[in-house]
Amino acid sequence: MQGYALTMHKIPVGVLGASGYAGRELCALVARHPALSLGFAAANERRGECLRIDGRALIFVAAEDAPLHQTPLVFTALPHGQSAEWVDRARGAGARVIDLSSDFRPGSARSTGVPYGLPELTRETVRGASLVANPGCYATAILLALVPAVAGGLIATDATVSVTAASGVTGAGTSPRRDLMFGEVTENFSAYALGNTHHHLAEVRSTLGAFGGDGIDLVFTPHLLPVARGILATVTLPLAVPLADPLAVWSDFYAGEPFIEVTAGAPSLRDVAHRNVARISVVAAAGVRRPTLVVVVAIDNLLKGAAGQAMQNANLVLGLDETAGLAA
Amino acid sequence: MQGYALTMHKIPVGVLGASGYAGRELCALVARHPALSLGFAAANERRGECLRIDGRALIFVAAEDAPLHQTPLVFTALPHGQSAEWVDRARGAGARVIDLSSDFRPGSARSTGVPYGLPELTRETVRGASLVANPGCYATAILLALVPAVAGGLIATDATVSVTAASGVTGAGTSPRRDLMFGEVTENFSAYALGNTHHHLAEVRSTLGAFGGDGIDLVFTPHLLPVARGILATVTLPLAVPLADPLAVWSDFYAGEPFIEVTAGAPSLRDVAHRNVARISVVAAAGVRRPTLVVVVAIDNLLKGAAGQAMQNANLVLGLDETAGLAA
Amino acid sequence: MQGYALTMHKIPVGVLGASGYAGRELCALVARHPALSLGFAAANERRGECLRIDGRALIFVAAEDAPLHQTPLVFTALPHGQSAEWVDRARGAGARVIDLSSDFRPGSARSTGVPYGLPELTRETVRGASLVANPGCYATAILLALVPAVAGGLIATDATVSVTAASGVTGAGTSPRRDLMFGEVTENFSAYALGNTHHHLAEVRSTLGAFGGDGIDLVFTPHLLPVARGILATVTLPLAVPLADPLAVWSDFYAGEPFIEVTAGAPSLRDVAHRNVARISVVAAAGVRRPTLVVVVAIDNLLKGAAGQAMQNANLVLGLDETAGLAA
Amino acid sequence: MQGYALTMHKIPVGVLGASGYAGRELCALVARHPALSLGFAAANERRGECLRIDGRALIFVAAEDAPLHQTPLVFTALPHGQSAEWVDRARGAGARVIDLSSDFRPGSARSTGVPYGLPELTRETVRGASLVANPGCYATAILLALVPAVAGGLIATDATVSVTAASGVTGAGTSPRRDLMFGEVTENFSAYALGNTHHHLAEVRSTLGAFGGDGIDLVFTPHLLPVARGILATVTLPLAVPLADPLAVWSDFYAGEPFIEVTAGAPSLRDVAHRNVARISVVAAAGVRRPTLVVVVAIDNLLKGAAGQAMQNANLVLGLDETAGLAA
């Protein structure tokens, strides 16, 4: 890859599924990237239409017409189940692929041998890979909250770990749905996928297992927020033993990470909006017999939860600085 | 009290703190009540101003000028700490009082002998009382979710019960605060009072104790929603033993209650907005070793969480039908 | 119709298109009406589903299965173009019809002989009619603002009357559309139908003509608001001669009208939300040579702009009190 | 100023009033500017507090402690009436000043000799100036819409020009006010300052006069939107004679302007959010005798309406590229 940098040519990359929320963010990130240029933006149902990004115009092409063989790297931001075919096509054309669907994530049929791209936890497996499974947005928030405790063996083995999380509506995609219309979402809030039925749980459990957290009883309840973007997850975490300084566990675990902010104050969506960061706070609960922590993590679901993290992975795959194009 | 009804005269009641969110709801509920009329609406900082309720005009008086001795019942909807003095004055003038502050709630200095007015749990202590402590909005949601399990002895004794709840901004009152400005709240979401520091926990713990739940390790994390009104609480509840039909436990416990709706589908704020009801759903979590339930409850924080519940209590105190003026 | 009242039987009425925003409001209004009951609620795509209204359950039927011949009055709240057929069927079955579509409004092919049901302007033509064309939401706001000036001959004959109005998203119906998704509407605002291309203009111009306003140059620009419900219209109105007390012109014109509130302060959507009223304010502009008024009117687009006004018309058609079931 | 660039040193600039909405945007713009650095950020009521901008921490100082003499340029983003004193102090210390208040704008007591910094209209007077009056947000939108027509002599001399505009709440500043609380603004919309009483009219009229539009009868009605940021203005513009291609008038007038986008489609707030651009559309109204245009303009009130425009002015004052630090 270095040849590109030496000659000052930018590396052309492509985006399949460029009209969705994550796809649009990817196009914008590529447009601002110092070492990448946008080779194509494919979106079948909007082919021929023009999208302005930072004042520049972009014409969507059909996926069939995408010059896959001319782009050393392709982002696939297609619906779950439709992505695998295009990943195969892009790889067949010689491109490396960052796949934002769940088709290759841990727990999926085709996950074997595909690195899971949550760089703060799995960086070394991503470097130079030819295909990376980009994590789900909820999974990113939950894993960043839990892994420091799991890796440290801090969680009580007989405990139930409760995770509630709330997401903005862009997490549900751009396809028109009655329940996502403004008139239904404004001034509303609801839980869904009750009883551990959300499909992100597979990649969460599999990744926790890789860090020694196989036996954790995790209960996850997602909620739909009347906001466009952002995920905030709140974890109630019973401990095996009390911790003198719980915040330090997370601070130490993420020391030096450019995209993780461990803070004393509780994070809000506003702190992370339009930024590729996760902000994490940890507090010990008062008035309980069993020592218990409350961990709160906030991310922008479209950046650290999707396109931003995909760019971290692309940088790692291409041998670039992981932070390139991702001002924190 | 019957004399009022027989002669078709309406009972005059007063509202102290009538310009706050709960106070305004109370005035509106009184205005529509078949057996009550609004004797006065007091709000010092807006005295002399006019408020329209359902097309009728209302002039705010100063609290000092409120004709307390002419109203057999007074609602005190004043800030915590300021209410007790006015409760004493109103009772000194012969009025019965429904107090919406925390000054007389379980866990407060003056709670002894004062019934806690969550009628579905404490109805008999409220009937005919001279003073009732109206529950907090979060406490109402949490207790309605937990008491059926506590009373049935269903909760694992060594378990950690996680409660996360999200409230609309009217729960924080009408006083201008920078963090409640539209520009700060829109497109935002945050947790606060991390680590069991919210002041509603005292009345929750005390009331759970009265139902045999003294030893429960409860961790409560409230959140601020970008909506005007509503509270949705999500409870992760580890059980002592599996339940064949968890929903039936709550259905049976609340059988015949006019203001409780136990439903199979997850409730949303929209289901309960502008209604004096609590809607509750219960689901067993999949994929966990210890049987665990997820209980979700939604209320309108200003009605079932404040003014509507206060009207239930007023009806009980005055010997009226508990549902009078409160179409579900 | 009196027989119904004398025997205390309620008149059964039906709603075709009961799952749309206006249809649901109609069902709720009928449920609370002292003299009407809901004979059927038809909504093809939701047939068999249950809707709760004020705590009561309602089962949607298919339009084909609606017992039209058993309901003396039917509301048709169907999409424009689809309504006329069902109006004919309902009338063929002997029902009187309040049609909420544009199919019979002034300017439409089938408008001849059909009274336009804006009672404050056209009340006498509505009484006892067998079919009434219920006005559009924008048209209601604009006509209530303009007719007092037109009828009084106050508008400069060579002037351009500017009307801008902003509507909540429920004005666009319940069909899923990408541009009405929460993620597209929140934090957004836009003008549309620029250059007098909105289809409500026909009924506005025709009705103004009936009041002597044939020659008015009207320019109407609608906007889409990030709110669920409400319309606020702002009219800039150049006058033929100065007016000493412009507010009095509107106050006098609407004297005694139960659903019109002429106020000195500028109205807001909140003043009229969930109420069947129009609130109007009028101010003379400073710093202009030609005397000019600014007229602002706010309505709830689903009540005074749709279902509430339809109920006024139904009451007039059935010989009931026009305000029955419509607490202001 | 060139010495700075040659030696690659960044020019230190200061912000007085750095904790307000415009002030924070200014700090962020300076932080990203290729040739400027943030010398100080002063905000009395938050002195000592820390603000993160793009991942960097910033400590607010008191205005009294601001090192005015070490910053060649100072932005004053203080409340109207309080700004003039600090402008004088900063100039006394040798700094050039971009003042975002109304204290020096056309029509104010101290406007004489102070260039009005709306670069697309007044660029040459701003270059190298020692003090610039940065326009109001509404004024920016209105003037960009009107001046091409005024300068071209297109407006009918006896006509009334109607301007309605709607602004997000950040236009009203950060001071807590009851009417700007989330619970009051959400799901609401209202007109205010009816009858030409908004204080931005002075700078609008004065600037129109400078382009030959002295005799225009302008009626301006502002509205408050439930969004955080953005202004959309809708102008109804009666013409002296018909125009074959009205859009071309605006396109030609703004040809080559990097921050003006003249488009056929109607603009929305989303098109311009977080961008220093004005997007303008122009359409001829159908169905009117007198030829009339509808001009719609959208800006981000905090960028093109405040901080972004201030940076354009700062670049002009310092002899830098006008677009530096302002990617469109």
Q: In this predicted model, what pLDDT tens digit does every residue of A39-79 receive, in sequence order?
A: 999 999 889 988 777 667 779 999 999 999 999 999 999 99
User: What was the pLDDT predicted at A202?
Assistant: 94
* CA–CA dist B128, B246 (Å, integer): 35
Whether residue B269 and residue A190 make contact (CB cut-off 8 A), yes or no, is yes
**Chain B within 8 Å of A266 (Cβ-Cβ)?**
yes
From the list B195, B289, B296, the residue facing A294 with the nearest CB is B195
Cβ-defined contact of A55 to D327 (cutoff 8 Å): yes
DSSP C5-51: HHTTPPEEEEEESTTSHHHHHHHHHHHH-SSEEEEEEE-GGGTT-EE
CA of B36 to nearest chain D CA: how many angstroms apart?
Answer: 28
The answer to whether A17 and A77 are in contact (CB under 8 A) is yes
Neighbours of D213 (CB within 10 A): 21
Catalytic residue among D84, D114, D133, D137: D137
pLDDT at A4: 38
Contact flag A182-C182 (C-beta cutoff 8 Å): yes
Instruction: Supply the mean pLDDT for chain A.
Output: 94
SS3 state of residue A149: helix
When CB atoms are compared, the residue of A54, A55, A327 closest to D54 is: A327
Start-to-end C-alpha separation, chain A: 25
Q: Please state the φ and ψ torsions of residue A262, each to the nearest 5 degrees.
A: -95, 120
**B173 pLDDT higher than 90:** no
Taking only the tens place, the pLDDT of each residue in B51-81 is 777 667 779 999 999 999 999 999 999 999 9
Residue D51: pLDDT over 80: no
Q: Could you tell me if B168 lies within 8 Å of chain D, comparing CB atoms?
A: yes
| β-bridge partners, D233 | D165, D297
How many other CB atoms are there within 10 angstroms of residue C1's CB atom? 13
Of the residues B181, B189, B229, the best mutation for testing chain D's interface (the one with the most D CB atoms within 10 Å of its CB) is: B181
pLDDT tens-digit profile of C40-55?
Answer: 999 998 899 887 776 6
A113 CB contacts (<8 Å, ≥6 apart)?
none
Residue B230 contacts A, CB cutoff 8 Å: yes
Spatial distance between the Cα atoms of B43 and B20, rounded to a whole number of angstroms: 8
Over residues D286-312, mean pLDDT: 98
> Touching check for C274 and chain A: CB below 8 Å?
no
Spell out the SS3 assignment of D59-113.
ECECHHHCCHHHCCEEEECCCCCCHHHHHHHHHHCCCEEEECCCCCCCCCCCCCC
Contact A266, A297 (CB under 8 A): no
- Gap between the terminal Cα atoms of chain B: 25
Q: Is the pLDDT of residue A6 over 60?
A: no
Closest CA–CA distance from residue C91 to any residue of chain D (Å): 35
Q: What local confidence, expressed as pLDDT, does residue D277 receive? A: 97
Residue D212 has pLDDT above 70, yes or no: yes
Cβ contacts below 8 Å, chain B against chain C, sum to: 18
Centroid of chain to Cα B21: 13
Q: What is the mean pLDDT of residues B298-317?
A: 98
Compare CB distances from B54 to C55, C187, C327 and report the shortest one's residue: C327
Question: HSE on the CB side for D39, CA within 13 Å?
Answer: 23
Q: A170 and C178: CB-CB below 8 Å?
A: no
Residues B135-142: what's their mean pLDDT?
98
> How far does the CA of residue C36 sit from the closest CA of chain A (Å)?
28
Chains that touch B (3 or more CB pairs under 8 A): A, C, D
Top-confidence residue, C283 or B200: C283
* Residue A8 clears pLDDT 90, i.e. is over it: no
Q: Which of C219, C285, C292 sits opposite D285 (nearest CB)?
A: C219
Q: Which long-range contacts (CB under 8 A, 24 or more apart) does D109-115 make?
A: D110/D84, D111/D206
pLDDT for D123-167, tens place per residue? 999 999 999 999 999 999 999 999 999 999 999 988 999 999 999
Q: Would you please indicate which residues of A are annotated as catalytic (active-site) residues?
A: 137
CB D261 within 8 A of CB D304: no
- Strand pairing report for C231-238 and C217-224: unpaired
What are D328's two structure tokens?
């469109």
Decide if D174 touches B, using CB distance below 8 A. yes
**Kind plus residue range of the DSSP H or E element containing A144:** helix A137-151
What does the block give as tokens for B220?
Answer: 């409560």
Q: How many CB atoms lie within 10 A of CB B94?
A: 13
Q: What pLDDT, on a 0 to 100 scale, did the predictor assign at position C6?
A: 39
The owner of tokens 């509107």 is: C250
Predicted local confidence at residue A255, as pLDDT: 98
| Residues D126, D316 contacting (CB under 8 angstroms) | yes
User: Taking each helix axis from N to C terminus, what angle separates C246-253 and C137-151, rounded to the nearest 10 degrees?
Assistant: 110
Q: Give me the pLDDT at residue B328, please.
A: 60
Q: What is the pLDDT of residue A57?
A: 75
pLDDT in tens, A107-141: 999 999 999 999 999 999 999 999 999 999 999 99
Across C263-280, b (16+ Cβ under 10 Å) vs e yields: beebbbbbbbbebbbbbb
Local confidence band at C68 (pLDDT 50, 70, 90 cut-offs) = very high
CA distance D81 to D79: 6
* pLDDT for the residue A81: 92
| Contact D269/B at CB under 8 A | no
Residue pLDDT, tens place only, B186-230: 999 999 999 999 999 999 999 999 999 988 999 999 999 999 999
ipTM of the complex: 0.95
Q: Which two tokens stand for residue B221?
A: 């994390």
What sign does the dihedral B111-B113-B117-B122 (CA atoms) show? positive
**C7 pLDDT higher than 70:** no
Give yes or no for a contact between B99 and B83, defined as CB atoms under 8 angstroms apart: yes
pLDDT (tens digit per residue) in C71-121 = 999 999 999 999 999 999 999 999 999 999 999 999 999 999 999 999 999
Confidence check: pLDDT of A258 > 80: yes
Note whether D277 contacts A327, CB cutoff 8 Å: no
- Cα distance between residue A34 and residue C306, in whole Å: 55
Res. D328 pLDDT band, cuts 50 70 90: low
Confirm or reject contact between C170 and chain A (CB < 8 A).
Answer: yes
What does the pLDDT look like over D94-133, one tens digit per residue? 999 999 999 999 999 999 999 999 999 999 999 999 999 9
pLDDT for the residue numbered A1: 34
CB A76 within 8 A of CB A86: yes
Determine the distance from the C-alpha atom of residue B124 to the mean position of all C-alpha atoms in its chain, rounded to a whole number: 17
Name chain A contacts of D263, Cβ cutoff 8 Å: none
Cβ neighbours of B250 in A, within 8 Å: none
Note whether D227 contacts C267, CB cutoff 8 Å.
no
D261 to chain A: nearest residue by CA?
Answer: A55
Query: Taking the model in full, what pTM does it have?
Result: 0.95
Q: Is the pLDDT of residue B3 over 50?
A: no
pLDDT confidence bin for D3, thresholds 50/70/90: very low
Q: CA of C54: which chain B residue's CA is closest?
A: B328
Query: Hey, are the CB atoms on C21 and A183 less than 8 Å from each other?
Result: yes
